[in-house]
Structure 1
């Protein structure tokens, strides 16, 4: 399946943060996040920026969530939305969710690979999780460049291996990933990555959608 061209404003997260945090008015007073955008302020980190339940073989859970972070985010889960979805999944399932981040470069150059720098690793993690725990339900997630990783990984998997996926700020939001029946994408108004908008803060607002995304994934898994 051919993939669409990248939006011209697919900026590294580092650049988005820098721009958002340095917007100033003519008096030199920095705008708050709410002044810059109608969406919520920069989300605070909840949960760990690194999770390795699959690679550490931490034990079988009813649900396994594999997530790909956005460009320049730290750890293997990032901070904007990945850890929040993971924590919400644990809460909704009574701590019966395994959380795993994709260890891929997530650098600016990787955007040109359209998810190819992390897709094979995500697909491999799915295979590993199912080998370790054949009865676990696999769900995927990705933010920004990580959303492209989800699309790339899905094309390498078989139908039924993954029961659901969510993406945030997805450049390919109009395309449902291959081989995944249950899919939901979140694209904030004005997001320069998924809507060619001009509101850089919108691309950083997806922590607000973590609970909704987690509820969707739990439902997709039939839990």
Structure 2
């Protein structure tokens, strides 16, 4: 689980991220679920979080190619995850887009309190590769 916390939450996966991981564990008792809290200030911009999330996903895909990840975020963290899965070229301050075919390493995307959706519409409109994973 790679989770970006909400605005001004303490470092780590945040309250929602921790609750989400805790809720998943009993549903997947035979799977080891590790969590990574995206390293970013969680203040006003999602770009730094998106860069860190993307770097972590790429690193995990290289070092553990059979591992499939769940990406998630709450509030500002959801906007960071939006950038990672929807933006294919550097934009909006986001400088580290996922390379092609990286979606094979992502099992699902879970976004909570995603304000970006109200403005731009559903994420599946921008990232067809992830449409079935949202």
- Give the TM-score normalised by the residue count of structure 2: 0.76
What corresponds to 2:90 in structure 1?
none
What corresponds to 1:181 in structure 2?
131
Indicate yes or no: 2:8 matched with 1:72.
yes
Unaligned runs of 5+ in 2: 88-96
What corresponds to 1:45 in structure 2?
none
What corresponds to 1:93 in structure 2?
28
In structure 2, distance between residues paired with 1:123 and 1:97: 19
Aligned length: 114
Residues 143, 167 of structure 1: 8 Å contact kept: yes
Q: Give matches, 1:52-201, under 5 Å.
A: 65-79=1-15, 81-94=16-29, 95-107=31-43, 109-110=44-45, 115-154=46-85, 155=87, 156-157=97-98, 158=100, 159-173=103-117, 174-176=121-123, 178=127, 179-184=129-134
Q: Which has the higher contact order (CA 8 A, sep 6+)?
A: 2
Structure whose CA Rg is larger: 1
Deviations 1:166-213 (A, max 9, x none): 1111012223152323344xxxxxxxxxxxxxxxxxxxxxxxxxxxxx
In structure 1, distance between residues paired with 2:25 and 2:62: 22
What corresponds to 2:91 in structure 1?
none
In structure 2, distance between residues paired with 1:182 and 1:67: 19
Q: 1:91 to 1:132 in 2, by over 3 A?
A: farther
Question: How far does residue 163 in structure 1 lie from its aligned partner after superposition?
Answer: 2.4
Question: How far does residue 132 in structure 1 lie from its aligned partner after superposition?
Answer: 2.3
RMSD: 1.7
Q: Secondary structure at the match of 1:87?
A: helix
In structure 2, distance between residues paired with 1:167 and 1:150: 8
Question: How far does residue 146 in structure 1 lie from its aligned partner after superposition?
Answer: 0.4
- Give the TM-score normalised by the residue count of structure 1: 0.47
Residues 67, 105 of structure 2: 8 Å contact kept: no
Residues 13, 35 of structure 2: 8 Å contact kept: no
Question: How far does residue 145 in structure 1 lie from its aligned partner after superposition?
Answer: 0.3
The answer to which structure has the higher helix fraction is 2
